Amino acid sequence: MALSKAVVGNFELYTIETGDIKLDGGAMFGVVPKTLWSRGIPADEKNRISMTMRCLLIKSRVTGKIYLIDNGVGTKFNDKMMDIYQIDFSERELSHSLQEQGFNFDDITDIIFTHLHFDHCGGTTFFDDKGNINYAFKNAVYHVNERHWETATNPNARETASFLPDNIQPIKESGKLNLVNDHHIFESGLSTVIANGHTLGQQLPKIDGDNKTIVFVADLLPTHVHLPLPWVMGYDMRPIETLKEKELFMKQAAENNWYLYLEHDLDVEMLKVSYDDHKFTVAEKLSLNDI
């Protein structure tokens, strides 16, 4: 299926699919029993659920900057890791997506990382024929929240497995790392919302224009099935904080008719939410093409 796009205010938005991944269903739904979550997303024979790694390219008509939000898991995994996570590039892949949308790697001027877990930043670098690490986006600056950088470079034992040295070290040595604070504005109409429950300093890019707001919700809401408040990932470092952040955020989203752009949902690119009777529900499933 063709990739979607939209124009919102001063920005052109393009869907960039980077590939599919499977993760343990139990870990993805925390305390929620499988009998409940498996009605929303079926599990395979190893209890894994299928997800995708959907990124967003933003071209500013004012500054000419071309931003990419996250870049997927990349190609540095060995066969064993490819198998564990069932990484699949057969239907969706980063270079194909860029090409289809009329861009190439060198066009990207800014990469905004929501956070540095391996399924969000692996595409930054790749191994060449000699096994050396190379940079995929030669002209890009890397924007990471300063508190997130602190945690990514000094992780606790529970989060260490998500921060891979092959991903983090080259970013550190690139000379192009830009640490941003919680209230950073990239340019007029492009800012971030901070959500610390999943990992400290996770930043969710927010695009405003033409009286519309789109938020790239990353791991605050990985799929539409995660909408009920207590459906919080076991992967989250601070689940109670996620609960509070999610409630506050979703109320704002429902009230202001925000479009929520989903990174990991295989079937739903974007949604709008409703809040009735103390419950959040999916009001509309849509794609960038529908804006």
We find the least distance from the C-beta atom of residue 12 to Zn ion, in angstroms, to be 27
Binders in 140-159 for Zn ion, by CB under 5 A? none
Q: Kindly tell me which of 17 and 219 has the beta carbon lying closer to Zn ion.
A: 219
Q: Kindly tell me which of 119 and 269 has the beta carbon lying closer to Zn ion.
A: 119
Structure tokens at 133: 């690490």
Choices 13-21, 142-150, 216-224, 240-248 (CB under 5 A): range interacting with Zn ion: 216-224
We find the least distance from the C-beta atom of residue 115 to Zn ion, in angstroms, to be 6
> Hey, CA dihedral for 56, 16, 235, 164, is it positive or negative?
negative
How many amino acids of this chain bind Zn ion (CB under 5 A)?
Answer: 2
Q: Kindly tell me which of 243 and 254 has the beta carbon lying closer to Zn ion.
A: 243
What is the rounded CA–CA span in Å between residue 228 and residue 215?
A: 18
Helix axes 146-153, 165-173, angle to 10 degrees: 130
C-beta separation of 94 from 87 below 8 A: no
Choices 18-26, 203-211, 218-226, 273-281 (CB under 5 A): range interacting with Zn ion: 218-226
Q: Kindly tell me which of 22 and 117 has the beta carbon lying closer to Zn ion.
A: 117
We find the least distance from the C-beta atom of residue 23 to Zn ion, in angstroms, to be 10
Q: Which of 249, 260, 180 is nearest to 213 (CA)?
A: 260
- Please tell me whether residue 219 binds Zn ion under the rule CB under 5 A: yes
Binders in 23-42 for Zn ion, by CB under 5 A? none
Q: Kindly tell me which of 105 and 163 has the beta carbon lying closer to Zn ion.
A: 163
- Please tell me whether residue 117 binds Zn ion under the rule CB under 5 A: yes
217 C-beta neighbours (distance < 10 Å), count: 29
C-beta separation of 20 from 92 below 8 A: yes
Q: Kindly tell me which of 75 and 151 has the beta carbon lying closer to Zn ion.
A: 151
What is the rounded CA–CA span in Å between residue 17 and residue 21?
A: 12
Q: Which residues of 57-86 are buried (b: 16+ CB within 10 A; e: fewer)?
A: bbbbeeeebbbbbbbbbbbbbeeeeeeebe
- Please tell me whether residue 20 binds Zn ion under the rule CB under 5 A: no
We find the least distance from the C-beta atom of residue 195 to Zn ion, in angstroms, to be 11
What is the rounded CA–CA span in Å between residue 224 and residue 40?
A: 9
We find the least distance from the C-beta atom of residue 107 to Zn ion, in angstroms, to be 26
Applying CB under 5 A, the residues found at the interface with Zn ion are 117, 219
